[in-house]
Amino acid sequence: MNLDKLASVLIPDDDLLPLEEYEKIYPPRNLAKGAQVTRLAPSPTGFIHLGNLYSALADERTAHTTGGIFYLRIEDTDEKRKVDGAVESVIRSLKYFGINFDEGAEIEGENAYGPYYQRQRASIYRAFAKDLIARGLAYPCFCTEDELNAIREQQTERKEITGYYGKYARCRNLSEEEIYANLAAGKPFVIRLKSQGSTENKFTFRDAIKGNITVTENDQDVVILKSDGIPTYHFAHAIDDHFMRTTLVIRGEEWLSSLPIHIELFKVLCFDLPHYGHTCSLMKMDGGTKRKLSKRKDPELSLDFYRGAGYYPKAVIKYLMTILNSNFEEWAAKNPSADYSQFKFSVEKMGKSGALFDLDKLNDISRTELSLLSPEEMYGFLYGWVKEFGTDADKEHFENRKYIISVLALIMGAGSKKRRKDIERAEQGVRLMDYFFDDTFKPVYTFRYDGGTVKNILDGFAKIYDEADDNSVWFSKVKAVASQAGFAAEMGDYKANPSEYKGSVADVAEILRIAITGSSNSPDLCTIMKILGGQRSVSRLVLAGNAL
């Protein structure tokens, strides 16, 4: 068969360069020895998830701890799944977590290895597919969807491996006449690899994450160009990672089963194989069982969830570092003020199987990280969230920087020896401050005493309260009101004779606390009343009294 002619008939494009030209356009990168080139290669579906961030962090750390390059490639070969704005959303989402690309789609810079959108690279793939046809390593396949289904059914019935291979690869041995007759009849075709492998052969492969694994040679005649001339993931992966000079492909373990195909493709294309590291899937405990995080069931899989809920980006990254490298936690405990970037990250230390994602642990890390901020820094973080996700009322409140900072200093216990860890994330932190503003103060009074007693205490305290009082004067006034209302002013007295009193001074303070904050649980009440101011504090006491 005249293979050169066949290649030109199947791929008649006149814009393809001789193959060695592509090697010149995309030469090996000029980087120091040991520098790793990694990439994130998402499809532009608009859904960017925690698994992407997890991989991206491993990619970014690997590249940037070795003086290498981390780039963004967009795998947009499936037009149907493309969503407008998805690329910007990937970049923005990762940036929120402090992960930045050195080059790639929509990244400013030299970008010498682009274009980084696969659709814009069609001619490169086609040039190499044409060469494979000419070398007898690829062929046109005219099988219809129905024919392929029939083959699959037959294989399933016979309990054989499914796919297009060996005796099932009908178009592999079409004669020249048959091919040209099919073409003349206008039959659509795909281009398939003519696999040279055999499943009889097995070999050991070193995965950077999984370690040594046994791989069975590929014998599937996989599609490399679809009927619209666009490459499959397999083919585009081999060509792009070669010409973008990736040294380490970090990708999800769902691709492990395709590894034999990729190894064969690199071989027939005469490219050096990059290193691979297959990351394990993120799992969660559901009831008593471990399962994969699912897009449908787990909102926490989407990165938008973390931005929307106002997670502190550094806390999310620190948490992911603990699941990426098991020795990170110990290092972080020893170096509490060090940035995670100082940790010596290693792909080899990544978990080999199912990483357990635990939202409670993330929340815990988040509270600790946020407690280390100054009230001013916390204001900056919360305001960032408010601008994007807050209500109109939140936005207005945050205009009053000084007031919010005084509230935060109290909530965070700034200045005291033991910082409070009440703020877990921006959304919850902002809601924690609602009672400091009249328009968002929505109390549900739950007093444990009868109306007459409560009113007596509220009125009594409203009469003698003075904003200028310091803590001890304030407390002596609470005691005075307690005595007058039949409560023990001293805890000791109450404990000695509980039946003689309606309650203790602590119960009186609780009544005041509920009236002022709407809750029986709050930071120091005297300070809260000072922040609110005398007039507003007294009107809250009156408001609560009137509500009885």
Positions in the binding site for ligand GLU (CB under 6 A): 41-43, 75, 237, 249, 251, 255
Q: Distance between CA 233 and CA 239 in Å, rounded?
A: 10
For the bound state, the minimum distance from the C-beta of residue 379 to ligand GLU, rounded and expressed in Å, comes to 38
For the bound state, the minimum distance from the C-beta of residue 90 to ligand GLU, rounded and expressed in Å, comes to 11
Does residue 430 contact residue 398 with C-beta atoms inside 8 Å? no
Residue 37 CA: distances (Å) to CA of 34, 69, 516 = 10, 5, 58
Nearer to ligand GLU, 114 or 384 (CB): 114
The residues, ordered by sequence, that sit 6+ positions from 475 with a Cβ below 8 Å of its Cβ are: 526
3-class secondary-structure state, position 193: strand
For the bound state, the minimum distance from the C-beta of residue 106 to ligand GLU, rounded and expressed in Å, comes to 17
Nearer to ligand GLU, 253 or 304 (CB): 253
For the bound state, the minimum distance from the C-beta of residue 210 to ligand GLU, rounded and expressed in Å, comes to 15
For the bound state, the minimum distance from the C-beta of residue 231 to ligand GLU, rounded and expressed in Å, comes to 12
Token representation of residue 262: 């990729």
Q: Distance between CA 159 and CA 150 in Å, rounded?
A: 14
11-14 LR contacts (CB < 8 Å, sep 24+)? 11/126, 11/129, 11/130, 11/133, 13/123, 13/126, 13/127, 13/130
269: number of Cβ within 10 Å: 18
Closest to 107 in 3D by CA, of 61, 145, 71: 71
3-class secondary-structure state, position 103: strand
3-class secondary-structure state, position 69: strand
Nearer to ligand GLU, 251 or 477 (CB): 251
Does residue 202 contact residue 173 with C-beta atoms inside 8 Å? no
For the bound state, the minimum distance from the C-beta of residue 236 to ligand GLU, rounded and expressed in Å, comes to 9
80: number of Cβ within 10 Å: 5
For the bound state, the minimum distance from the C-beta of residue 96 to ligand GLU, rounded and expressed in Å, comes to 20
Closest to 292 in 3D by CA, of 92, 61, 54: 54
Beta bridge partners of 211: 207
Nearer to ligand GLU, 126 or 251 (CB): 251
For the bound state, the minimum distance from the C-beta of residue 237 to ligand GLU, rounded and expressed in Å, comes to 5
Dihedral sign from CA coordinates of 419, 424, 425, 427:
negative
Does residue 469 contact residue 477 with C-beta atoms inside 8 Å? yes
Nearer to ligand GLU, 58 or 482 (CB): 58
Closest to 244 in 3D by CA, of 69, 376, 499, 366: 69
DSSP string for residues in 234-290 = HHHHHHHHHHTT-SEEEEEGGGGGGHHHHHHHHHHTT-PPPEEEEEPPEEEEETTEE
Nearer to ligand GLU, 241 or 394 (CB): 241
For the bound state, the minimum distance from the C-beta of residue 1 to ligand GLU, rounded and expressed in Å, comes to 34
Nearer to ligand GLU, 43 or 363 (CB): 43
Starting at the earlier edge strand, list the strands of the sheet with 190-193: 138-141, 190-193, 223-225
Token representation of residue 271: 């490219």
Nearer to ligand GLU, 71 or 398 (CB): 71
DSSP code, position 16: P
Nearer to ligand GLU, 96 or 255 (CB): 255
For the bound state, the minimum distance from the C-beta of residue 251 to ligand GLU, rounded and expressed in Å, comes to 3
Nearer to ligand GLU, 72 or 478 (CB): 72
501: number of Cβ within 10 Å: 18
Nearer to ligand GLU, 44 or 375 (CB): 44
For the bound state, the minimum distance from the C-beta of residue 442 to ligand GLU, rounded and expressed in Å, comes to 45
Give the number of C-alpha atoms closer than 13 A to the C-alpha of residue 101, restricted to the C-beta side. Answer: 27
| Closest residue to ligand GLU using C-beta atoms | 251
Nearer to ligand GLU, 86 or 316 (CB): 86
Nearer to ligand GLU, 88 or 147 (CB): 88
For the bound state, the minimum distance from the C-beta of residue 246 to ligand GLU, rounded and expressed in Å, comes to 9
For the bound state, the minimum distance from the C-beta of residue 258 to ligand GLU, rounded and expressed in Å, comes to 9
